[in-house]
Amino acid sequence: MTQEFVEIGILQQRKIEAEIIKPIYEIMKREFGVEKAKAIIEEAVADAAINAGKEYAKREPEGTSVESFVALQYLWEKDDALKIEVVNNNHQRYDYNVHRCRYAEMYQEMGLAEIGFLLSCNRDSKFIEGYAPNIKLTRPHTVMNGDGFCDFRYELQAEKTEAKEK
């Protein structure tokens, strides 16, 4: 009998994490206040996201690229987690809009809307920082923060060149 590996989507992973974080967050709010509790969550989650990005990058034998990042997107979309519209997808850019975000819905249902951005949205720029530091994310709008959509704009940055001699 062989065991089959089942890869859970990011939505399910975030739900499991949130169930663990919620009681810890409540205690931190009581002991340290809301702002300090949020700062602790933000720092811990950001560090975890950078490290996760680095781990995923190690799985790319040819190195990371916009294309290899796009190939991972199914993990965030799994379980009908996001309703997206791709705006641009090429070697330099991956741009898309999210029109429905089950992550935001889940945190709302769990009573964690006040830190939903820290638990999910804030991870996005930190993940890409660890995965491919030469790709930059810009996202001025998020469903989590009450906007009607998220506008993800990933762009490959030009290689930094050595300063030319004078």
Amino acid at 32: F
pLDDT at 158: 83
Q: Is residue 75 part of a domain?
A: yes
* SS3 at position 58: helix
**Into how many domains does the chain fold?**
1
Is 1 inside a domain boundary?
no
Quick check: is 5 in a domain?
no
Query: Does the residue 132 lie in any domain?
Result: yes
In a domain, 165, yes or no: no
**Contact criterion met (CB below 8 Å) for 132 and 57:** yes
* pLDDT tens, residue by residue, 47-89: 999 999 999 999 999 999 999 999 999 999 999 999 999 999 9
Other Cβ atoms within 10 Å of 158 Cβ, number:
8
Confidence category of residue 7, pLDDT binned at 50, 70, 90: confident
The pLDDT assigned to 5 comes to 53
pLDDT at position 95 over 90:
yes
Sheet containing strand 93-101, strands side by side? 82-89, 93-101, 150-156, 135-138
> How far, in Å, CA of 56 to CA of 72, rounded?
9
Strands 135-138 and 93-101: unpaired
Residue 95 inside a domain? The answer is yes
Residue 164 has a pLDDT of 43
- CATH number where 36 lies: 3.30.1380
The answer to whether residue 3 is domain-embedded is no
The CA distance from 44 to 63, in Å, is 27
pLDDT at 165 over 50: no
In a domain, 47, yes or no: yes
Q: For the whole model, what pTM was predicted?
A: 0.88
Give the domain range for residue 113.
Answer: 10-156
